[in-house]
Structure formats: structure tokens, C-alpha cells
């Protein structure tokens, strides 16, 4: 069962725990200064990207009018707080007094001074490289002063120019130059930086950010890249007298963004970089840092045609530097941990595993008369920092809406509307940003419907829900892979709900059989920043079709039954990747210990340090919309879109809640799975009566600083805790509390290479419902934030495929057409429907999904997706 905050047992969190604000969280990493310490020296090596191509403040037409510069970021309210530390109180570029940079470019004088903008191969102080944010990360975290030695020169390969001695052949001139310049910098440090208070120096780390020129040599340089990089690391350690020097390898960035595999040789080169870091001889002293998610669009960058330099986008270079710096800190911390722990007596037993379970939400009960639908606001955010592949399936917070019955519900009948925000195993174009599906479930999962054209399976000869949802809105097109929200959404509130509208009349027969079908068209309403109102609906036939074969189901399904107002609200997680390791005691005599590591998970937080996951859960009576709309369709007054508060009930949250999250090896029987002691790091909280979320233990939960939105990372490491009187359970621990010999620190949860997604297609036979009678305009294309291209066309509402497969006569469809035209004229997307949230901000749909009807098709016509696929690859430029 769940271990929530209401549990009793050992290690129960004290009620007086301090929960930090976001600002306090960031300050906690700063250490108090003491006696002078050794200078920490870091080498930043590579080619032109490490030289520094990011544009700080050039705003002329040659730099795309300043788009994507550092100035543009700091003028953007959505991003400026993340990088505000780069300016001082006067608005000038900040100059640190505890971090120094030394760089000797190919041409021009030596650059040496305190960290700020301008340590690049360009004249003036208008550019920067990864060293800027890398230096801030290290400077903020370490008590020591820091020296960064840049040894980077554009257009230089590892195969030839940086070729290490151990690779044979002629040693590369840039390898020799790198070693010479490091030695020179250490010898001249006191003269070049007299203001330093450090006593001595310590060579603390090497960062390698490189790759393009070797990718241009697919036949010789790429096959050797892993070996050459391994040799370079070993030779640098030998030649500089630092046998365990921590090394961070930054992934070749290039023009390929999140969700796009680098093609051909560049993809293989990226694999070689990761493989070098994973070599067992490096004993967890080398880390690989993916950088592809930091790519920004060329049109949003100062140098749109320089994709080989990431278009000079300042945010890209800041995020790269940030990630490289944090990886280096991880190695430095791990090194100290390694020195303080004995190695295990035997090699660890390592097994792949998973984390799964539910997050539980406590609520008051709702009066039974509020049985005509619901609405809610749910937070949307990237749960995992990298998409872990098609096994990943988890919803964010949502609900299950079942039919309401007068007594006990029928046995052996499961049918509801669930869906919500999340990721699913059949998602083809997944990113770390969740999508929304409708999740209508026909009896006992005989079919399901996730949106217009989206059902169980991909075979249109067995529709199984693909015709179950009719498009209603003329302003949003629905992709079959799920409804996209704006990429980068992190903690914004997605408002949605279902209310029954009488668009289609009830009828006494179904598919020619004496089985009734009700008139409840459960309609999806959204409240987002860029769209409000009804979007699409389940046709009543989706529910009643099952009663044709099983007449005993007639009248028991959502085509005719009211909704149960007392629903469960939870977060359901079916699979998050994990790794387990069992090691013997250090002396070989004690009990073995089992540790686990999960893929990094994060939750959003606001400025107060709160996590909000659910807000304003509301249930409705039929007087909210259903009956006013019925009267309007019958000739009465226009039904107002804004719901009468007297026809709604806002549920109140209770403190408490819990989790059934468990970690287990793959294939573990349920009775042997172990719960996570969630209360050790998170406290479920009703922030106010209508807002629910969490507070966090700052000793185990830390802020994520990757530019992906304000959020905190949950514990990754766990150990099985044995407490007398309790079942064994997983207790969260810090990284340093896990022995290096367990082999977990080097484990990665990267996006796997999987076979191509393939396209969603629709039937195109002349007699298919997509062709007869067919569209009246199109096809049109739009490119979505997930990288896919959606092809769609405009149909008359009554002639869309879902309506042609809804068991309706022509007269019945025309009656529905008349009603929808009334809705299109009066219920526009800018009106108020649900009550707005009283906290947070609204999420947005992917702007590419917002469409405008062609002239003459504004009323009575809807966009229908015909195809969804990933097209083409980004342009490449030689480096």
C-alpha cells in the first residue's frame, strides 16, 4: 500500500520541516568562504564551438536583428530570471572575482582575466562560449577559486590535429599545443592573476566539446573516434600528471534538435563519444553530457545560416556550459565519495528494473446531483529529463470518469473516460513534453478512442474506436498521435473537462437492432492560453455499439448514464526505467546491500517553492450546459458559454495523500515489489482548499538548472531499508551515500535508438469515408513542435468520417449539422467557459494546431487530419 504523509512509522518527517522558496533553494549551494584553498584548474578543449560562437549583444541585420542573443534572453520575461546573474546591478556584463579565464586564440593577443563575456576568437566583447556559464556553475559551487584554460581552435579534428600520442602516427599539433598551454598557464598564473588568494593549484578537470570535423571524415575519422578519444584522455592524464583527472565529454551539438537523430556519420560520432565515457577503465571518472536538447531554431537565432555553430544562439551555449559544469561537479563529488568508501568485495549484481505506481489525492465527497461532467486544471511538465523510449508510459495527474448507477455498479463492466496528459507506448512522435489524449474506453477495453482518427491499433480495417470521436471546433486540428501542447511547457495549468451536449438525438434502435442509444455527446472542453471552448466529442454510438452484441448493456453506458461525480484523481505511472545493484559488504562478512537508481524525474515548482499539480476540480449538474443547450437547439435563447456557478460544485482537497510508487527488477512478481518511502522527500499538501500539490525536502530534492523551466529533481538513488516490524522498502539517499562500486553512478538513461516511427495514414480508397463525399478544401500542412508534419483537410461537419460511422441517417446527420452551425456562430474560442484558475498560468496548445477556416468555411466545417509523419532532416553546413 501507499506510504503517504499520513503513515506512521520510522523516519516520519517532522511537521516543522522547512520548505525553501525557489530563491532559497538556489542559495543553499553557496558555501561559506574560509582559509585560502588551492586553485581549481579546468581545461576546456575542442574546436570552434568551444572557442565561442554565441552572440551577446549584436543587433544589426547581419545578426537577425538581435534574435537569440544574450540581450534578447535577458529582455524576455520568460527566460531572464534563469540568466540574470550574467548582468550586474548597473546592467553591465558581470565580472567575477573568483573565476578567471585564460585563452590564447589562433590570432591576436593572449586573453586573460576575470570571467565575463568576450573570451573568444572574435574582437571585442560581443561573443562567448560554454566557459561563461560553466564558470558560473563551478564558481558558485566551489569554495576554491577557479581558473579556466581554454585550448580550443576552430576546424581541428581529433583524427589529425588533436591526435594523441597513443593513437600512433604523428602526434597532432593541437594536442601538443594544448599540453604546452596548460603548463604555461600554471607557470604564469601568479603573474597573470596577482589578485588570486589561492595557495597552490590542483588540476581538477578536462572538458572536451568537439566533433564536427571528424564527422566530415566518415570513412576514417569516425571509426577511430572512440579509440582516439580514449587515448586522448589517457594521454592528457599522463602528460599532466593527473592519473584520475575528471573528464566531461560534451555531445556534438550541431543543428539536430530534440527528438531528431543526427544522420549518418554524425550520429555514429555521437555514439562513439558516449561509448568512450562508458569505458570500464575510466571507473566512473568520465561523464558524457547530451546537448541535442539545447538546439534552438535558426529563425530565432542571430546567425540563422550558421547551423554548424548552433546559429550563434546564446541560450544554446549557456545551456551547454551549464550542463558541462554540473556534470563536472558530479564527478568532483563522486571522486570524494569514492575516496571515502571501500570497494565491494565482489562485483555487483546489476539488473534492469522499473519504477511504477500511483500518486494518490484525497478529496471531499461531492453531492450525487452533480453528475453531468467535470472540469479541472492539471499541471503539465516534462516528468523525465530525457525521453526513455517507447516503453515509457505514464500519465500526469488526471481522473477516471465512470457512469453513475443508482445502486451497485454492474459486475464485470469497465467503461469510462480517462486519458489526460502523459506519454503512451503507442506514441510515435514523443518528446519530453506531454501530450493529451481523450481515453474513452468501450466495455472492457474492446476498443478505445483517444481523439478524432485515434483508436485501438493502426489497422483501419478494424477501426476499434478510430471513428468514435467527432471534430467539433473549426479552430483546432487534432493530430492522431495526441494533442500537442507547446514544447517547453513546465508547470503551466492545462484546463479540460467533459460535459454532455445533446448534439445528436437519442434513438430507439442501434445498428438496426432494438437497442437504444442515448443522446449524450460527451464533449471535450479546453481552457488554455490560446484556445477555449468545445473541441470534439464522443459519438453516442461509440458506447452503445457494444449493446448490439450484448443487449444487457443497454442503458448502462455513457451514451445514456450520468457521470459519477466522486472520481479518483491520481497520477498513474506504468514504467519509468531503473537499475538495481546488489553488492556484498565491504568486509565480505555483512549482509549484502541493494541500491537502485531511477531515470531523473522532476516536478515543477513556483516562486514559493510549491509544486501545484491539480487545481479547481469542478463537477456540474445538467443545468450547467446540457439543458440550456437543449432548450437553445429547440428554439429557445442562446445558451451562455459561462457556466452558472449554482450549477457547479468545486471540490475541496484534504491534506495528506500518498504514493504507491515501487521499484522492482524487470519481471518481479507483485508481492515481492518494494514500496518507495515517499514521505522521506515529499509532502503532499493542500496549498489552499482548491489547490493540491507538494512540498519538498531540500536535503534530497534539488533545483534543475537546464533552462527547461523552474522545477526540482526528485531523488534518483535509493537503498533497501530494513526496519523491524515493517516490510523492506526503498529509502531515498544522496548520490554520495551509494558506493561507487555499485556501478550505478555511470548508468545513463538516454533515449534509445529505435526503429522509425512510421506515418499515421488514413484510408484513401475512393469509397472510404475520407473520400466519399470527402473534403471541401485542402490538403494543408502544418509542422508541429514534436517535429512531425500534419496533413489535414476541411470537411463539412456532417460529412466527416466519424459522423459517417456514427450509425446515423442522413436526416439525423443534417440535424446535427444545423446544431453545430449554431455553436460555431455563437460559441467562439475567445469566450469564457470554465471558471479561470486562481493560481498559476494557463498552458498553451502547440501554436501549429491553431487553424483558420478558409473563406466561406467559417461555419459548419471542421479540420480533419489525414496523415502525420516526420519529414526530412535539417540543413547542414560544413564547419
Q: Please tell me the least confidently modeled range out of 20-29, 479-488, 775-784.
A: 20-29
Who contacts 222 (Cβ-Cβ below 8 Å, separation ≥6)?
Answer: 214, 215, 265, 268, 269, 272
Q: Is 168 exposed, middle or buried (CB count within 10 Å of its CB: 0-12, 13-18, 19+)?
A: exposed
End-to-end CA distance of the chain: 57
Nearest to 145 by CA among 42, 68, 267, 54: 42
The DSSP 8-state label assigned to residue 214 in this structure reads H
Find out whether 106 and 155 touch, Cβ atoms under 8 Å: no
Are 259 and 387 spatial neighbours (Cβ–Cβ below 8 Å)? yes
Instruction: Identify the band that residue 670 occupies on the pLDDT scale cut at 50, 70 and 90.
Output: low
Are β-strands 374-380 and 492-501 bridged in parallel, bridged antiparallel, or unpaired? antiparallel
pLDDT of residue 385: 85
Task: Output phi, psi for 363, to 5 deg.
Answer: -140, 155
Check pLDDT > 80 for residue 35: no
pLDDT at 867 over 90: yes
**pLDDT tens-place string over residues 460-471:** 988 999 999 999
DSSP character at residue 510: B
Residue among 279, 311, 287 at smallest CA distance from 297: 311
**Where exactly are the structural domains of the chain?**
42-339, 353-578+610-703
Q: What digits encode the pLDDT tens for the residues 561-617?
A: 999 999 999 999 999 999 999 988 654 556 788 999 999 999 999 988 899 999 999
Strand partners, 401: 417
**DSSP label at residue 476:** B
d(CA 65, CA 192): 37
DSSP 840: S
Which residue bears the cell 516520519? 12
330 pLDDT more than 60:
yes
pLDDT of 344 strictly over 50: no
pLDDT above 70 coverage of the chain, percent: 92
Residues 468, 524 contacting (CB under 8 angstroms): no
Q: Choose the weakest-confidence range: 155-164, 235-244, 747-756.
A: 747-756
Which triple of cell numbers denotes residue 485? 501542447
CA distance 844 to 867: 23
Helix, strand, or coil (residue 317): helix
pLDDT in tens, 643-663: 888 999 999 998 889 899 999
Is it the case that residue 875 has pLDDT exceeding 60?
no
Among 749, 52, 866, smallest CA distance to 452 is for 866
Q: What mean pLDDT is predicted for residues 358-386?
A: 95
Distance of CA 244 to the CA centre of its chain: 34
With a CB cutoff of 8 Å and minimum separation 6, the contacts of 125 are 56, 93, 116, 117, 118
pLDDT band, residue 871 (cuts 50/70/90): confident
CB within 8 Å of 152: residues ≥ 6 apart:
44, 45, 46, 47, 48, 50, 51, 52, 103, 129, 209
Checking if the pLDDT of 529 tops 90, the result is: yes
In Å, what is the CA distance from 497 to each residue of 420, 490, 526? 10, 21, 7
DSSP state of 826: H
Cell triple for 192: 597573470
Query: Which pLDDT belongs to residue 347?
Result: 74
Grid cell listed for 693: 500539490
pLDDT at res. 579:
93
Query: What is the CATH code for 42-339?
Result: 3.40.50.1110
Residues 578/661, Cβ–Cβ less than 8 Å: no
- Would you state the pLDDT for residue 219? 87
Q: What is the dihedral of CA 724, 725, 730, 731, to 10 degrees?
A: -60
Rounded Cα–Cα distance for residues 258 and 292 (Å): 6
Listed residue (159, 185, 145) closest to 34, CA to CA = 145
**Tens-place pLDDT, residues 170-218:** 999 999 999 999 999 988 888 888 888 887 889 999 999 998 899 888 8
Longest dimension (CA), the chain: 96
Please name the residues in contact with 303: beta carbons below 8 A apart, sequence gap of 6 or more. 53, 55, 63, 64, 309, 311, 312
The span from the CA of 209 to the CA of 253, in Å, is: 9
pLDDT band at residue 266 under the 50/70/90 scheme: confident
Q: What proportion of the chain, given as a percentage, has pLDDT over 90? A: 65
Q: Tell me, what's the pLDDT at 667? A: 76
Alpha carbon 842 to its chain centroid, in Å, reads: 17
Predicted pLDDT of residue 358: 94
291 with 254: CB under 8 angstroms? no
Residue 427: phi and psi, rounded to 5, are -70, 130
Report d(CA 323, CA 329) in Å as an integer: 10
Quick check: 350 and 743 in contact, CB under 8 A?
Answer: yes
Distance CA 484, CA 848 (A): 9
pLDDT of residue 873: 37
pLDDT of residue 215: 87
pLDDT category of residue 756 using cuts at 50, 70 and 90: low
Q: What is the number of alpha carbons within 13 Å of residue 124 lying toward its C-beta?
A: 7
For the stretch 395-441, pLDDT in tens is 999 999 999 998 888 888 999 999 999 999 889 999 999 999 999 99
The 10s digit of each residue's pLDDT in 276-289 is: 999 988 878 999 99
Distances (CA, A) of 222 to 124, 244, 802, 849, 879: 36, 26, 51, 40, 16
Average pLDDT on 750-777 reads: 87
Amino acid at each position: 500500500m501507499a506510504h503517504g504523509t499520513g503513515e506512521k512509522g520510522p523516519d516520519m518527517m517532522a511537521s516543522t520541516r522547512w520548505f525553501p522558496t525557489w530563491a532559497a533553494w538556489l542559495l543553499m549551494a553557496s558555501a561559506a568562504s574560509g582559509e585560502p584553498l588551492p586553485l581549481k584548474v579546468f581545461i576546456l578543449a575542442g574546436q570552434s564551438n568551444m572557442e565561442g560562437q554565441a552572440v551577446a549583444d549584436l543587433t544589426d541585420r547581419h545578426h537577425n536583428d538581435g534574435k537569440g542573443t544574450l540581450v534578447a534572453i535577458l529582455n524576455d520575461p520568460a527566460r531572464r530570471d534563469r540568466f540574470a546573474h550574467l548582468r550586474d546591478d548597473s546592467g553591465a556584463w558581470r565580472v567575477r572575482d573568483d573565476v578567471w579565464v585564460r585563452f590564447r586564440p589562433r590570432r591576436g593577443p593572449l586573453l586573460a582575466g576575470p570571467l565575463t563575456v568576450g573570451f573568444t576568437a572574435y574582437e571585442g566583447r560581443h561573443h562567448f562560449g560554454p566557459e561563461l556559464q560553466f564558470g558560473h556553475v563551478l564558481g558558485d559551487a566551489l569554495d576554491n577559486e577557479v581558473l579556466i584554460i581554454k585550448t580550443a581552435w576552430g576546424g581541428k579534428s581529433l583524427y589529425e590535429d588533436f591526435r594523441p600520442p597513443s593513437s600512433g602516427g604523428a602526434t597532432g599539433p593541437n594536442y601538443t599545443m594544448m599540453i604546452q598551454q596548460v603548463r604555461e598557464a600554471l607557470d604564469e598564473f601568479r603573474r597573470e592573476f596577482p589578485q588570486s588568494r589561492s595557495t597552490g593549484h590542483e588540476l581538477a578537470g578536462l572538458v572536451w566539446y568537439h566533433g564536427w570535423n571528424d564527422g566530415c571524415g566518415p570513412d576514417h575519422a569516425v571509426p577511430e573516434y572512440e579509440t582516439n578519444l580514449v587515448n586522448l584522455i589517457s594521454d592528457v592524464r599522463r602528460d599532466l600528471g593527473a592519473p584520475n583527472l575528471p573528464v566531461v565529454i560534451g555531445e556534438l551539438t550541431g543543428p539536430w534538435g530534440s527528438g531528431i537523430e543526427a544522420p549518418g556519420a554524425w550520429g555514429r560520432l555521437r555514439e562513439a563519444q558516449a561509448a568512450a565515457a562508458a569505458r570500464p577503465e575510466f571507473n566512473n571518472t568520465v561523464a558524457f553530457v547530451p546537448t541535442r536538447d539545447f538546439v534552438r531554431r535558426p529563425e530565432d537565432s542571430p546567425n540563422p545560416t550558421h547551423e554548424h555553430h548552433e546559429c550563434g544562439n546564446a541560450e544554446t551555449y549557456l545551456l551547454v556550459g551549464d550542463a558541462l559544469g554540473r556534470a563536472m561537479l558530479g564527478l568532483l563529488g563522486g571522486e570524494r565519495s569514492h575516496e571515502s568508501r571501500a570497494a565491494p568485495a565482489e562485483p555487483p549484481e546489476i539488473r534492469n528494473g522499473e519504477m511504477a505506481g500511483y500518486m494518490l489525492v484525497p478529496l471531499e465527497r461531492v453531492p450525487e446531483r452533480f453528475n453531468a461532467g467535470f472540469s479541472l486544471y492539471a499541471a503539465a511538465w516534462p516528468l523525465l529529463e530525457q525521453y526513455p523510449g517507447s516503453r515509457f508510459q505514464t500519465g500526469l495527474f488526471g481522473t477516471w470518469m465512470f457512469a453513475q448507477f443508482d445502486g451497485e455498479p454492474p459486475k464485470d463492466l469497465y467503461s469510462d473516460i480517462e486519458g489526460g496528459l502523459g506519454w503512451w507506448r503507442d506514441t510515435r512522435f514523443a518528446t519530453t513534453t506531454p501530450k493529451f489524449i481523450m481515453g474513452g474506453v468501450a466495455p472492457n477495453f474492446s476498443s478505445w478512442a483517444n481523439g478524432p482518427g485515434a483508436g485501438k491499433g493502426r489497422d483501419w480495417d478494424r477501426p476499434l474506436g478510430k471513428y468514435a470521436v467527432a471534430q467539433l471546433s473549426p479552430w483546432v486540428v487534432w493530430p492522431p498521435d495526441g494533442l500537442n501542447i507547446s514544447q517547453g511547457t513546465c508547470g503551466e495549468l492545462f484546463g479540460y473537462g467533459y460535459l454532455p451536449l445533446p448534439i445528436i438525438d437519442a434513438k430507439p434502435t442501434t445498428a438496426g437492432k432494438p437497442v437504444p442509444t442515448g443522446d449524450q455527446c460527451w464533449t471535450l472542453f479546453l481552457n488554455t492560453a490560446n484556445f477555449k471552448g468545445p473541441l470534439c466529442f464522443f459519438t453516442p454510438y461509440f458506447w452503445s455499439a457494444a449493446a448490439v452484441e450484448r443487449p444487457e448493456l443497454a442503458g448502462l453506458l455513457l451514451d445514456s448514464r450520468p457521470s459519477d461525480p466522486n472520481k479518483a484523481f491520481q497520477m498513474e505511472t506504468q514504467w519509468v526505467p531503473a537499475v538495481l545493484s546488489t553488492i556484498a559488504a565491504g568486509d565480505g562478512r555483512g549482509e549484502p546491500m541493494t541500491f537502485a537508481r531511477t531515470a531523473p524525474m522532476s516536478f515543477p515548482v513556483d516562486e514559493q517553492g510549491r509544486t501545484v499539480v491539480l487545481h479547481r476540480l469542478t463537477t456540474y449538474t445538467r443545468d450547467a450546459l446540457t439543458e440550456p443547450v437543449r432548450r437553445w437547439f429547440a428554439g429557445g435563447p442562446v445558451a451562455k458559454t459561462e457556466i452558472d456557478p449554482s450549477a457547479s460544485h468545486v471540490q475541496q482537497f484534504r491534506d495528506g495523500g500518498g504514493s504507491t510508487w515501487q521499484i522492482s527488477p524487470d519481471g518481479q512478481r507483485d508481492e515481492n515489489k518494494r514500496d518507495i518511502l515517499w514521505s522521506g522527500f515529499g509532502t503532499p499538501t493542500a496549498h489552499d482548499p482548491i489547490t493540491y500539490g507538494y512540498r519538498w525536502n531540500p536535503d534530497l530534492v534539488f533545483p534543475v538548472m537546464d533552462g527547461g523551466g523552474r522545477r526540482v529533481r526528485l531523488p534518483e538513488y535509493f537503498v533497501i531499508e530494513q526496519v523491524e516490524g515493517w516490510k523492506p522498502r526503498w529509502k531515498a539517499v544522496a548520490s554520495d551515500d551509494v558506493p561507487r562500486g555499485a556501478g550505478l553512478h555511470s548508468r545513463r538513461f538516454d533515449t534509445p535508438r529505435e526503429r522509425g516511427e512510421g506515418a499515421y495514414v488514413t484510408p484513401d480508397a475512393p469509397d472510404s469515408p475520407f473520400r466519399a463525399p470527402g473534403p471541401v478544401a485542402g490538403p494543408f500542412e502544418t509542422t508541429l513542435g514534436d517535429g512531425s508534419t500534419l496533413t489535414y483537410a476541411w470537411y463539412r461537419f456532417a460529412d466527416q468520417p466519424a459522423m459517417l460511422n456514427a450509425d446515423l441517417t442522413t436526416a439525423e446527420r443534417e440535424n446535427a449539422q444545423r446544431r453545430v452551425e449554431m455553436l460555431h456562430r455563437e460559441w467562439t474560442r475567445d469566450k469564457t467557459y470554465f471558471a479561470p484558475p486562481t493560481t498559476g498560468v494557463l498552458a498553451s496548445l502547440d501554436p501549429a494546431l491553431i487553424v483558420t477556416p478558409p473563406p466561406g468555411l467559417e461555419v459548419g466545417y471542421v479540420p480533419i487530419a489525414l496523415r502525420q509523419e516526420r519529414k526530412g532532416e535539417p540543413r547542414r553546413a560544413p564547419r
